[in-house]
Chain A
Amino acid sequence: MQVEAYVGEEMVLNMGPQHPSTHGVLRLELETDGEIVKKVIPHIGYLHRCFEKHAENVDYPGVVPYTDRMDYVASMNNSFGYALAVEKLMKIEVNERVKTLRVIMAELNRIASHLLAVATYGMDIGTFTPFLHCFIEREKVLDLFEWTCGARLLYNYNWVGGVSHDIPDGFVEKAKQFLREFEPVLKELNELLSYNKIFINRTAAVGILAVDVALSYNVTGPNLRGSGVKWDLRKDEPYSGYEKYDFDVAVGDGRFGPLGSCWDRYFVRVWEMAESLKILHQALDHLPEGDVQEKIPKKVRPQKGECYGRSEAPRGELGYYIVSDGTGNPYRIKVKSPCFTVLSALPAMAKGALIADIIAILGSIDIVLGEIDR
């Protein structure tokens, strides 16, 4: 979009691809009048790695590492969604142990991902200390993952029909110990950051996202729940055994300002971490026995057809549209990334904001550019 000749004293400020707060390589073109931002235009594509083209040239199991690298902060959930979509296409039903393990790993990764989102959001607003407290806990989760499958960030864990590694002996005790240590940290985070007056002043009246705008932009996940819509795929279209677990859906309630503000979205994430703790307690207590690799087909060759599988990733609804032509390689995989849709709604959320507010809004929608650009 060409910026026309401007009247008055407007200045085009480029929050360029390299910036401490853009959570990746994102370029925001801001047209500012003093401190007020008149227009914000996001430019993406700096991290485009042609995942969809690569997926056409490798076989179905070979796509799993590529899916990890999209939202690299929450890899377990990406490969989870992909495995679910392919299993839906091939009509494979995995056993209970696999389902529970997948839920455990997905929820642990949800906690790790939300910790990162919350901590970096605090840093954007100016507090540096919660960042370090949150990262200590995140390290513990990453240690659990490294113990299980050898990798800290990109796991290649959820395979079509099963998982790559069964959990080692002692994993359940270690995980429960982490859960015990994590609860007081959440309380401390609330005291230090969530209910801090300055933090509330910075975030509770900013970045209001109305429900109809959110639906029109297909905003999903914590961003949509922050605007008061109680929609969570784990509860409303359960998969992989989520119907067995007892947990609440975190919804924003406009406590300190209008509904749908940055504070609501941020607090939905904090609350979701507490709910993930509940799910993890239940899943770890009732982990069935079984062979995690028994349903993995020798050759993954779905019949000709297509399907759309969606799952609740930490950042929203992750959708995989898979078209199969009957061979071992996918014919087309299209990924609907939740961050892609919420970033396109940024200009709508940023009406009348100051530059500091743009940072606050951008932090509250919690984007990861790897997923947007694929």
Chain B
Amino acid sequence: MQQAPGILQVLQGKFGSKILSSDMSVLDPTITVEGDSIAEICSFLKSNEALAFDTLMCLSAVDYKGLKGETDRIELVYHLFSMKHRHQIVLKVLLPREEPSIPSVEQIWDIANWHEREAYDMFGVTFNGHTDLRRILCPDDWVGYPLRKDYVQPETYRGMPVAPGKQFVEMAQDGLQVGTDPFREG
């Protein structure tokens, strides 16, 4: 089992400038890497005998917007775990909020297929080399990326109002009992 600084050293030795920064003092030690080389770094992490990161625990996307003192960006966070050696590491990639794209790691861990589809669905991150990049949770023809901070819910979807709540709020404010006849006019 390797500690995080050891893993960082191996990575820096192999990839040099592609390792942008790291933070060993937080709860889950994190290594920030260059977006375009994520696929080769992950491939190395999986195939290297001493590291052997055979499981991708979680692939999350986080949208940072409007925080004081931080640049606006979309972060992709890869939580990796090695069942063989029982150690874990967190990789981070910083992407611009406009048209973010990054190579896919689907060939390395099969679960990345669905995780990346979800990141695409919720944040609009394009994964190059993904075999089947389409929405997974929202309907296929949904417009917008829901988990972004500046997401505005569409008014209608295929002609149906998306947020009927407002009608009920207005009906309630008019003194009507909500829930008796939702399809009543006026």
Give yes or no for direct A-B contact (beta carbon below 8 Å): yes
Chain A: residues with CB nearer than 8 A to chain B? 1, 44-45, 48, 50, 52-53, 88-89, 212-213, 215-218, 229, 231, 236, 305-308, 310, 317, 319, 321, 323, 325, 331-332, 334, 336, 340-341, 344-345, 348, 373-374
| Contacting residues, chain B, for A336 (C-beta < 8 A) | 57-58, 79
Interface positions of B from 57 to 115, Cβ below 8 Å from A: 57-58, 60, 62-63, 67, 77, 79, 83, 86, 90, 109-111, 113-114
For the residues of A in contact with B, the DSSP-based class is mixed
Q: Are B111 and A344 in contact (CB under 8 A)?
A: yes
Q: Interface readout for B116-152 with A: 1 if CB under 8 Å, 0 if not?
A: 0000001000000000100111110000001100000
Q: Can you report 29 A-B residue pairs in the complex whose CB atoms are below 8 A from each other?
A: A44-B136, A45-B135, A45-B136, A52-B147, A88-B27, A215-B55, A216-B55, A217-B109, A217-B111, A218-B56, A218-B111, A229-B83, A306-B26, A306-B27, A307-B26, A308-B28, A308-B79, A310-B57, A317-B57, A319-B57, A319-B79, A321-B77, A331-B62, A334-B62, A336-B57, A336-B58, A344-B111, A345-B110, A374-B137
B111 to chain A, nearest CB (A): 4
Chain B's interface size range is 20 to 34
Q: Are A218 and B67 in contact (CB under 8 A)?
A: no
In the complex formed, the residue of B with least CB distance to A236 is B86
Q: Are B114 and A340 in contact (CB under 8 A)?
A: yes
Q: Are A332 and B62 in contact (CB under 8 A)?
A: yes
| Contacting residues, chain B, for A1 (C-beta < 8 A) | 132
B78 to chain A, nearest CB (A): 11
In the complex formed, the residue of A with least CB distance to B64 is A331
| Contacting residues, chain A, for B147 (C-beta < 8 A) | 52-53
Interface contact tally, CB-CB below 8 A: 84
In the complex formed, the residue of B with least CB distance to A229 is B83
Q: Are A48 and B137 in contact (CB under 8 A)?
A: yes
Q: Are B146 and A53 in contact (CB under 8 A)?
A: yes
Q: Are A334 and B58 in contact (CB under 8 A)?
A: yes
Q: What 3 pairs between A and B have smallest CB-CB spacing?
A: A334-B60, A336-B58, A45-B137
- Chain A CB within 8 A of B34 CB: no
In the complex formed, the residue of A with least CB distance to B135 is A45
Contact of A215 among B67, B79, B83, B135 (CB under 8 A): B83
Q: Are B57 and A231 in contact (CB under 8 A)?
A: no
Q: Knowing A306-B26, A308-B79 touch, does A45 contact B138 (C-beta < 8 A)?
A: yes
Q: Are A307 and B110 in contact (CB under 8 A)?
A: no
Taken together as a complex, chains A and B put the C-alpha atoms of A236 and B81 apart, in Å, by 13
A346 to chain B, nearest CB (A): 11
Chain B: residues with CB nearer than 8 A to chain A? 26-28, 54-58, 60, 62-63, 67, 77, 79, 83, 86, 90, 109-111, 113-114, 122, 132, 135-139, 146-147
| Contacting residues, chain B, for A334 (C-beta < 8 A) | 58, 60, 62
B53 to chain A, nearest CB (A): 10
Q: Are A44 and B58 in contact (CB under 8 A)?
A: no
Q: Which of A231, A307, A308, A345 has the most CB of B within 10 A?
A: A308
| Contacting residues, chain B, for A213 (C-beta < 8 A) | 110
| Contacting residues, chain A, for B27 (C-beta < 8 A) | 88-89, 305-307
Q: Which of B54, B77, B90, B136 has the most CB of A within 10 A?
A: B136
Q: Which of B26, B54, B86, B110 has the most CB of A within 10 A?
A: B110
Q: Which of B26, B55, B77 has the most CB of A within 10 A?
A: B55
Taken together as a complex, chains A and B put the C-alpha atoms of A345 and B113 apart, in Å, by 10
B54 to chain A, nearest CB (A): 5
A221 to chain B, nearest CB (A): 13
In the complex formed, the residue of A with least CB distance to B61 is A334
Q: Are A308 and B58 in contact (CB under 8 A)?
A: yes
Q: Are B28 and A307 in contact (CB under 8 A)?
A: yes
In the complex formed, the residue of A with least CB distance to B46 is A216
Q: Are A305 and B26 in contact (CB under 8 A)?
A: yes
In the complex formed, the residue of B with least CB distance to A218 is B111
Taken together as a complex, chains A and B put the C-alpha atoms of A206 and B90 apart, in Å, by 36
| Contacting residues, chain B, for A44 (C-beta < 8 A) | 136-137
B141 to chain A, nearest CB (A): 12
Q: Knowing A88-B27, A218-B55 touch, does A321 contact B60 (C-beta < 8 A)?
A: yes
| Contacting residues, chain A, for B58 (C-beta < 8 A) | 308, 319, 321, 334, 336
| Contacting residues, chain B, for A216 (C-beta < 8 A) | 54-55, 109-111
Taken together as a complex, chains A and B put the C-alpha atoms of A285 and B106 apart, in Å, by 48
| Contacting residues, chain B, for A340 (C-beta < 8 A) | 114
Q: Knowing A50-B146, A305-B26 touch, does A231 contact B83 (C-beta < 8 A)?
A: yes
